[in-house]
Amino acid sequence: MGYQFNFAPVFNNFDQLLYGALITVQLSFGAILIGLLIAVPCAAAKTAGPAPLRWLVSLYIEVIRNTPFLIQIFFIYFSLPALGIRFDPNTAALVALAVNVGAYATEIVRAGIESINRGQIEAGKALGLKGHQIFRYIIIKPALRTIYPALTSQFIYLMLNSSVVSAISATDLAAAGNNIQSTTFAAFEVYLVITAMYLVLSLGFSGLFSAIGRKAFSYPLAR
Amino acid sequence: MSNVVPENTDAAVIMRDVDKWYDSYHALTAINLTVARGEKIVVCGPSGSGKSTLIRCINQLETIRSGTITVDGIELTNGGENVDKIRREVGMVFQQFNLFPHMTVLENCMLAPIKVRGVSKAEAEQTARRYLERVRIPEQADKYPAQLSGGQQQRVAIARALCMNPKIMLFDEPTSALDPEMVNEVLDTMIDLASEGMTMLVVTHEMGFARKVADRVIFMDKGEIVEMGEPESFFSNPQNERTKTFLGQIAH
Amino acid sequence: MSNVVPENTDAAVIMRDVDKWYDSYHALTAINLTVARGEKIVVCGPSGSGKSTLIRCINQLETIRSGTITVDGIELTNGGENVDKIRREVGMVFQQFNLFPHMTVLENCMLAPIKVRGVSKAEAEQTARRYLERVRIPEQADKYPAQLSGGQQQRVAIARALCMNPKIMLFDEPTSALDPEMVNEVLDTMIDLASEGMTMLVVTHEMGFARKVADRVIFMDKGEIVEMGEPESFFSNPQNERTKTFLGQIAH
Amino acid sequence: AAQSVEEIQQRGTVNVGLLVDFPPFGILDQSGNPDGYDADVARLLAEDLGVELNLVPVTGPNRIPYLLSNQVDILVASLGITPERDEQVDFSQPYAGIEIFVFGDANLEVTGPEGLSGQNIAVARASTQDTAITEIAPSDANIQRFDDDASAVQALLSGQTPLMGASNVVIAQINTMAPDRFDTKFSLRQQSQGIAVRPGSDELLGYINEFLGRVKADGQLNALHEEWVGGPLPEFVAETE
Amino acid sequence: MFRSFGPNEALYIITAVQWTLLLSAIAFAGGAVGGMAIALARVSAIKTLRYAALSFIRVFQGTPLLMQLFLVYFGLSIMGVGINLWVAAAAALTLHASAYLGEIWRGCIEAVPAGQSEASYALGLKYGDRMRYVVLPQAAKISVAPTVGFLVQLIKATSLTSIIGFVELTRAGQIINNATFQPLTVFSLVAAVYFVLCWPLSMWARHLESRFAVATAR
Ligand SMILES: Nc1ncnc2c1ncn2[C@@H]1O[C@H](COP(=O)(O)OP(=O)(O)OP(=O)(O)O)[C@@H](O)[C@H]1O
Ligand SMILES: Nc1ncnc2c1ncn2[C@@H]1O[C@H](COP(=O)(O)OP(=O)(O)OP(=O)(O)O)[C@@H](O)[C@H]1O
Ligand SMILES: [Mg+2]
Ligand SMILES: [Mg+2]
């Protein structure tokens, strides 16, 4: 109603938005990679590890899954320095995202491991393979294939969630938008464009992930 | 062939007073069995009688509560390091094939030799191709399990086990998940293997196979070995009541 | 109810030049079939020949591409409102029973009469109990489907369909999901029904039932009606080659 | 859309946007209601208008959008009067004033803009400090922008940044909190704060200016300032007509 | 002006949980209605409806809730719909929840065997009765576990309303932190309160899931 849309400020600063998007992509991929490196051993520990380790992993998963990401990132950036642990904002964002996605991915990967037929493990044992070899060569790939769709949506959710890291002055896409918005006051226009950019990113991510999935899991499934 | 041979140091498998419990369920009771090298044994009996449990104890896929099992002169104590030694010498073929779906046929056959025996890739491949030839599917080497018929899959499973050069082969109902027209191709492979002198323990209800190949047939019921004998006398003149009933049923 | 009623005004079902496609797959080709009121027809044929498709077209669980189907004098045009009218007059029993698992037997039987015919709850219950009596399981009225045996479930399914007072009943392999010992209890129920004059189209391979009950037997292959005749001549003297082969197979 | 006094009086309430995380200007009291200098000024104004007061907590970066999108009628939100903002909103004469400084780690030698080189400096996004530091900082200074002043203070206190842009008021508070850890480096500018209305609301703005003139003259505003900030209104505010 | 962290501050944070709960309740209620509509549209026979629902899901599952909050908040008022914080938060959360619940429930509806619908057709039941008496009751049973699981996600998602200034649990924590400068204490407390809310729900969801797995295993 009488509102004059003005996208000029947005497009004049589009390079900032692109840079922010680049950071968002970097943060997301970094977190996904580290998150997987956390998740796979944690899931292994939770299915086959000693009791105290299982308990520890459960604690990690439950704490992360039952508290908001925003609180987690405040905690990491503002509270950890009191314990002598200090990250710059983008690193703190990366750590928070990785720790967060690691917990979710652990649960997903664990479900995948548990979906593997016992017969596969027994066949490995009967061939003389050791526990870790069975995990590495027999279990993990089919397990990841089973849970790949769930993992993919979790990764996309993580990328969207990363918009929160601007609260600790990380310089992601949302922060770039906030900066432009706060100097140009074209709030609606800025958020509209950013939202569209996130949509493009998430569509791009799911396209990319399914391409990776097709490549990585090309073996045929039994009918 | 030599039968109840107690202190036979040269036996392939010696089971002495073996008892196996699943929690409170007594699955095997006082099993005594000696298998000579090169001997072929067929195990039959009703469902739930403990046939699978028996042969799974031999390569310790199940742990026993009491008694001793000696395989190829190595005594098997629960969870000890001997388990690894023994599993290297014992090949096993399952009802459900259990091929690794994410590896080609060739990769399925090469994995254990490389990782367990430490042979080179080239050598593992050579061995794998030799055994695939022997089970008569050399041309399937680069396919994935899901692309093969059940009979072909089971033959790959046999080749995979053979690639470890085992001294003893265990078979747990290798043909019962197969469509009827594929049973024979797998049995033929097993007959070949038997004729080459492999020590074999086979759980099966294929009585034709038993008659042709077995040195001894064992009948189990409720966790016990109820009757044991050469196929001729076993089939024509069973001693035990339960054996008679059972043979009557499967003859149909 | 006046509609385009071609020659036989009194027929229960008339199919004229019916063609059915699943995308690019031609499932039914030029089907012509007239079913008189009170007639019992058995449909048989190899798997995939289109038997289910044929009877599912009659109450438009499948939509046809061309041709006409007239049921009880009402012409069925795809998606039109006549569909509702027709479904009220046609009962159907499936291979997999398809009882509603979250309702008791009684509720299963009462749902459609109340919601579709708008009868009162009391009346629906009375009807339901009557038909449960007729299929001989009045005492199961308050159980849930999962608490019944397969044969009992199928009889409930028949009762449920009867509660709508249909003029025609369709059966799609009603006994093939049942354990052998339950087949007869369901067939008996169907024989009862037939003897009371119900128009029935039954897909089944129970040839004993066909001999006893059918006025005509239809043999289908590759989406076509290949042969049609009275049971006596159909079984003793089939004309078509494919029919002969097929009857030879199922006779075993 | 422009706003008129009549419209507000007819409605019977005035919606005033203010910060609640900017002590002592905007805070929440023990029971969670907005309070502070800004809140009291708003109360005075509502009383003067003869209408109910509806205090709407806003955040630093979103203050102006709140106003422009009609969420609030007026901002009494410690909004520093700057030329850029003046293009977006209409400012009243100053009702408060602060001086903003670069402030930080006592062990750090910083005397002017060149001292910011290579340093991390925390500011509240879109605050006057942000603008001022962005203007003067060398290109290799790393300005970290947070959603509000408190987060920036938090970054300084937790050691995440050695420096921040802060007002005299915030500095006073940090010093009571952590005496001797930090000191003032150099002044950025004196900053008057104004009450803001949507552009074109001239009549409303006239009313507010007249109101501010009165309460400055009769000492009411000064009393509030004494109460909350602990000193009289700064000269450059009190003088302005 | 600086306070130290005491019982009053703790109480302030803990009482803010009521807003978190209220927001969650609103979002869940709105999401339940919207989600049901989306789920039904997704399995509808009408192509346009299916595609419309799919686009809705793509957009709302493909963009951050944070942006949705900003957009709804500033956007609706720009369009002349004068709204307050409550309406904005409720609207954005409802849209968000609708998209996710819609997808979850669609899966549950599709998990009801096709034979159930066919039997209903064959009995002459119309769309409404078929859904209401046959399909939805069965889908509902399957949906309990994933729905409870999503509720946890929703409770956590309400923390994002703090970014548009809504004073719920997270924002209360920030405010107290700004006054006390004891982030370790403050954020630990806030996290603990969320944990107390969410953990029992997570456990319940897991319990339901395993019970269902057992039920379907037979
Ligand atoms: N992991 C297990 N836990 C508990 N009980 C088991 C387990 N495995 C087998 N059993 C029980 O032990 C008994 C013997 O089982 P086993 O599998 O050896 O029988 P089988 O003779 O091989 O029967 P089948 O012909 O059906 O394969 C059965 O009663 C079975 O229920
Ligand atoms: N929904 C469908 N989509 C595509 N093709 C279908 C569909 N339903 C059936 N068909 C195909 O149509 C053909 C006829 O199917 P139909 O179910 O009528 O066979 P049938 O004679 O009932 O077989 P059976 O004895 O196995 O039940 C089959 O080749 C089948 O694969
Ligand atoms: Mg067995
Ligand atoms: Mg069929």
Q: What is the pLDDT of residues B108-160, one digit of tens each?
A: 999 999 999 999 999 999 999 999 999 999 999 999 999 999 999 999 999 99
CA atoms within 13 Å, Cβ hemisphere of C195: 8
Q: How confident is the model at residue B201 (pLDDT cuts 50, 70, 90)?
A: very high
Picking from C157, C235, C158, the residue whose alpha carbon sits closest to that of residue C191 is: C158
Q: Could you give the CA distance from residue B148 to residue B110 in angstroms, rounded to a whole number?
A: 18
Q: Do E170 and A1 touch (CB under 8 A)?
A: no
Which numbered ligand comes closest to the C-alpha of B50? 1
pLDDT at C182: 83
Query: Helices (H) and strands (E) in chain C — how many of each?
Result: 9, 10
Contact A162, A30 (CB under 8 A): no
Q: Cα D163–D165–D166 angle (5° rounding)?
A: 115
Instruction: State chain C's mean pLDDT as an integer.
Output: 89
Residue A172 belongs to some domain of the structure: yes
pLDDT tens digits for range D10-40: 999 999 999 887 778 888 776 678 889 999 9
Q: Could you give the CA distance from residue E166 to residue D26 in angstroms, rounded to a whole number?
A: 16
Q: Is A213 on the interface with B (CB under 8 A)?
A: no
* pLDDT at B5 > cutoff 50: no
Q: Is A115 on the interface with B (CB under 8 A)?
A: no
Mutation site for E-interface testing, chosen from D62, D146, D149, D167 by largest number of E Cβ within 10 Å: D62
Mean pLDDT within A34-57: 94
Residue type at B141 in one-letter notation:
A
pLDDT at C76: 77
- Closest-CA residue, ligand 2 atom 24, reads C47
* pLDDT at D85 > cutoff 70: yes
pLDDT tens digits for range B87-114: 989 999 999 999 999 999 999 999 999 9
Task: Print the domain residue range for A44.
Answer: 14-118+148-216
CA B45 to ligand 1: nearest atom = 21
* pLDDT at E3 > cutoff 70: no
CA B56 to ligand 1: nearest atom = 18
The residues placing their C-beta within 5 Å of ligand 3, an ion, are B 52
B50, B51, B78, B94, D165 from B172: Cα distances, Å: 11, 8, 22, 5, 77
Q: Do E152 and A167 touch (CB under 8 A)?
A: no
Residue A51 belongs to some domain of the structure: yes
Q: Is A33 on the interface with E (CB under 8 A)?
A: no
- Closest-CA residue, ligand 2 atom 25, reads C47
Q: State whether the Cα torsion B33-B38-B39-B41 is positive or negative.
A: positive
* pLDDT at A1 > cutoff 80: no
pLDDT tens digits for range A149-197: 999 999 999 999 999 999 898 999 999 998 888 777 778 889 999 999 9
pLDDT at A6: 82
Q: What percent of chain B has pLDDT over 70?
A: 94
Q: C243 CB less than 6 Å from ligand 2? A: no
Secondary structure percentages of chain C, helix, strand, coil, to 5: 40, 25, 35
Which residues does residue D196 pair with via DSSP β-bridges, in sequence order? D75, D91
Q: How far is the CA of C28 from the centre of ligand 2 (A)?
A: 10
Contact A61, A106 (CB under 8 A): yes
Mean pLDDT within E105-115: 93
* pLDDT at C252 > cutoff 50: no
Closest residue on chain C to E135 (Cα): C100
Q: Could you give the CA distance from residue B20 to residue B68 in angstroms, rounded to a whole number?
A: 11
Q: Could you give the CA distance from residue C40 to residue C197 in angstroms, rounded to a whole number?
A: 9
pLDDT tens digits for range E4-30: 788 888 988 999 999 999 999 999 999
Residue A135 belongs to some domain of the structure: no
- Please report the residues numbered 174 through 213 in chain E whose beta carbons come closer than 8 angstroms to any beta carbon of chain A: 174, 177, 183-184, 187-188, 190-191, 194-195, 197-199, 202
Mean pLDDT within B176-204: 89
Residue A123 belongs to some domain of the structure: no
Closest residue on chain E to C118 (Cα): E125
Ligand 1 — pocket residues by CB below 6 A? B 22, 25, 27, 45, 47-53
Which residues does residue C93 pair with via DSSP β-bridges, in sequence order? C171
pLDDT at A100: 96
Q: C22 CB less than 6 Å from ligand 2? A: yes
- Please report the residues numbered 130 through 169 in chain D whose beta carbons come closer than 8 angstroms to any beta carbon of chain E: 147-148, 150-151, 153-154, 157-158
Q: Cα D208–D209–D213 angle (5° rounding)?
A: 115
Q: Do A128 and B116 touch (CB under 8 A)?
A: yes
Of the given ranges (B199-203, D64-68, D130-134, E192-196), which has the lowest mean pLDDT? D64-68
* pLDDT at B249 > cutoff 90: no
* pLDDT at A43 > cutoff 50: yes
Q: Could you give the CA distance from residue E52 to residue E71 in angstroms, rounded to a whole number?
A: 20
- Which of E118, E133, E138 is opposite residue C101, by nearest beta carbon? E138
Place of tokens 């019916």: C18
Q: What percent of chain D has pLDDT over 90?
A: 29
* pLDDT at C7 > cutoff 60: no
* pLDDT at C226 > cutoff 80: yes
* pLDDT at D241 > cutoff 60: no
Mean pLDDT within A58-75: 94
Q: C246 CB less than 6 Å from ligand 2? A: no
pLDDT at E85: 76
Q: Do E125 and C160 touch (CB under 8 A)?
A: no
pLDDT at A41: 94
Q: C48 CB less than 6 Å from ligand 2? A: yes
Mean pLDDT within A86-94: 93
Q: Which two tokens stand for residue B177?
A: 């998940």
Q: Do C161 and E138 touch (CB under 8 A)?
A: no
Mean pLDDT within E74-89: 72
pLDDT tens digits for range D42-53: 999 999 999 999
Pocket test for ligand 2, best of C22, C28, C226 (most atoms within 8 A of CB): C22
Total number of domains constituting chain A? 1
Domain ranges of chain E: 7-216
Q: What is the CATH number for A207? A: 1.10.3720.10
Q: What percent of chain E has pLDDT over 90?
A: 61
Q: How confident is the model at residue B251 (pLDDT cuts 50, 70, 90)?
A: low
CA C25 to ligand 2: nearest atom = 5
Q: How confident is the model at residue E84 (pLDDT cuts 50, 70, 90)?
A: low
- Please report the residues numbered 167 through 186 in chain B whose beta carbons come closer than 8 angstroms to any beta carbon of chain A: 170
Q: How confident is the model at residue D219 (pLDDT cuts 50, 70, 90)?
A: confident
E118 neighbourhood in chain C, CB within 8 Å: 61, 94, 98
- Closest-CA residue, ligand 2 atom 31, reads C48
pLDDT at B9: 62
Of the given ranges (A56-65, C57-66, E207-216), which has the lowest mean pLDDT? E207-216
Chains C, A in contact: 3+ Cβ pairs under 8 A? no
- Which of A86, A185, A188 is opposite residue D88, by nearest beta carbon? A185
- Closest-CA residue, ligand 1 atom 1, reads B22
Residue A84 belongs to some domain of the structure: yes
CATH of E7-216, one of 1.10.3720.10, 1.20.1260.10, 3.10.129.10, 1.10.10.10: 1.10.3720.10
pLDDT at A7: 86
pLDDT at B2: 41
Q: Which residue has the higher pLDDT, B40 or B237?
A: B40
pLDDT at B4: 46
Q: How far is the CA of C31 from the centre of ligand 4 (A)?
A: 17
Residue A9 belongs to some domain of the structure: no
A37, C5, C119, C203 from E123: Cα distances, Å: 55, 25, 14, 19
pLDDT at D23: 76
- Closest-CA residue, ligand 1 atom 25, reads B47
3-state secondary structure D156-212: HHCCCCCEEEEEHHHHHHHHHHCCCCEEEEEEEEEEEEEEEECCCCHHHHHHHHHHH
Q: Is B94 on the interface with A (CB under 8 A)?
A: yes
Q: Could you give the CA distance from residue C234 to residue C244 in angstroms, rounded to a whole number?
A: 10
Contact B171, B202 (CB under 8 A): yes
